[in-house]
Amino acid sequence: KQEVTQIPAALSVPEGENLVLNCSFTDSAIYNLQWFRQDPGKGLTSLLLIQSSQREQTSGRLNASLDKSSGRSTLYIAASQPGDSATYLCAVANAGNNRKLIWGLGTSLAVNP
Amino acid sequence: ETGVTQTPRHLVMGMTNKKSLKCEQHLGHNAMYWYKQSAKKPLELMFVYSLEERVENNSVPSRFSPECPNSSHLFLHLHTLQPEDSALYLCASSQDHIGSGQFFGPGTRLTVL
């Protein structure tokens, strides 16, 4: 049974720092992995989707990597800004017929001015 | 309107009330989803529809009744809910239900008194 873990649960950093959020999964047979952002009380915004055949995806200051064999993905945020403060969620779609997303609990990020 | 919209954004109801949540997607997608998000828990998938047919029902109590009249609209009918049903209910859509990236609405914050 696939399980997704995100570490740390919460992170507080000063503005301008580069930071890494971690996501690990127990079953390496995945179809893809998505990173989402959620602002308090709001819905989710899709940030990056990495297919199982890919190693990384980039969008602006965000870079997500995927290492299937070790069951890990990282979300790298460069030059963090207060507007990056949010909860970041990782979700894995398993390979096979049932590709529903399995979710982590998220990392709550606070970037302080 | 663009993306995925949900109404109402906030709902307070008594345990004997009947209410409905509405979701509409403007992305031309073929799959739609209902999720429940409670504090300290991963997102819980409730229902999946593909081309207006229900393809997944994750052991959700019958007091939650979904309806998908067409590929752009999804409803969640609520009746005789319990206080533990209070949560953020999120709707999402995707091109297909077999692993394409999901796009979320802002959610309905439901409080059951």
Residues of B in contact with A107 (CB under 8 A): none
Say if residues B67 and B74 touch (Cβ distance below 8 Å).
yes
> With an 8 Å Cβ cutoff, are A42 and B4 in contact?
no
Is B106 within 8 Å of chain A by CB?
A: yes
Which of A31, A42, A101 is closest, CB to CB, to B102?
A101
pLDDT band for B1, please (50, 70, 90 cuts): low
- On the CB side of A76, CA atoms within 13 Å amount to 11
Shortest distance, CA A61 to any CA of chain B (angstroms): 20
Q: pLDDT per residue over B60-101, tens digit each?
A: 999 999 999 999 999 999 999 999 999 999 999 999 888 788
Which of B56, B99, B107 is closest, CB to CB, to A43?
B107
